[in-house]
Amino acid sequence: MISDQPVSVASAFEEFSARVKWFVIYAKEAAANGLTWGEFGELLLALLRLAVQAADTLTAMTGAEKKALVMAAVANLFDAVADKAVPLHLYPLWVVTKPAIRSLVLALASGAVEILLPMVRSPK
C-alpha cells in the first residue's frame, strides 16, 4: 500500500509537528510519479489516523485546538500532493476548481476526525 512507508517513518517521531512533517515528506516522495485519487484518499486517511492519535496525546491543548492542528496537517498534505492526482489534460480545470475541492476535502476530514477519535484511543 502506498501509505505504509510514510506511516512507518512518521510513527518513529514523537512530536506532532515532526510526525506530520515527515509523513508529508514521504508522501510527496511516494507521489512523485503521480497519484490516483484512491491513493490520495489512502494517504489522507493514514495522515488523519496519525494526526488524531498524536494530537490526542497533547494534554495541554483543548479539543478545538487539537482539531485545528489536525486540520492544518490535512491542508498541508492536500497542498503538497493533490496536484499529483490530476491528469495533465485536466490541469486547467484543476486550477479553477482546486480551492473548492480543497474546502470539500477539509470539510470531509473535519467530520472524519470525530469518527476517528474513538478508534485511535486505546482502552484504559
Task: Give the pLDDT score at 123.
Answer: 57
Task: Give the pLDDT score at 77.
Answer: 95
Task: Give the pLDDT score at 7.
Answer: 62
DSSP tag of 35 = -
Task: Give the pLDDT score at 5.
Answer: 63
Task: Give the pLDDT score at 47.
Answer: 93
HSE, side-chain direction, 13 A CA sphere, residue 15 = 4
Task: Give the pLDDT score at 105.
Answer: 94
DSSP assignments along 56-82, one per residue:
HT-TTS-HHHHHHHHHHHHHHHHHHHG
Task: Give the pLDDT score at 19.
Answer: 85
pTM (global) more than 0.85: no
Query: Do 23 and 2 contact (CB within 8 A), yes or no?
Result: no
Q: How many CB atoms lie within 10 A of CB 2?
A: 16
Q: What is the mean pLDDT of each run of 10 residues along the chain (124 residues)?
A: 61 69 91 90 91 80 84 94 92 95 94 79 58
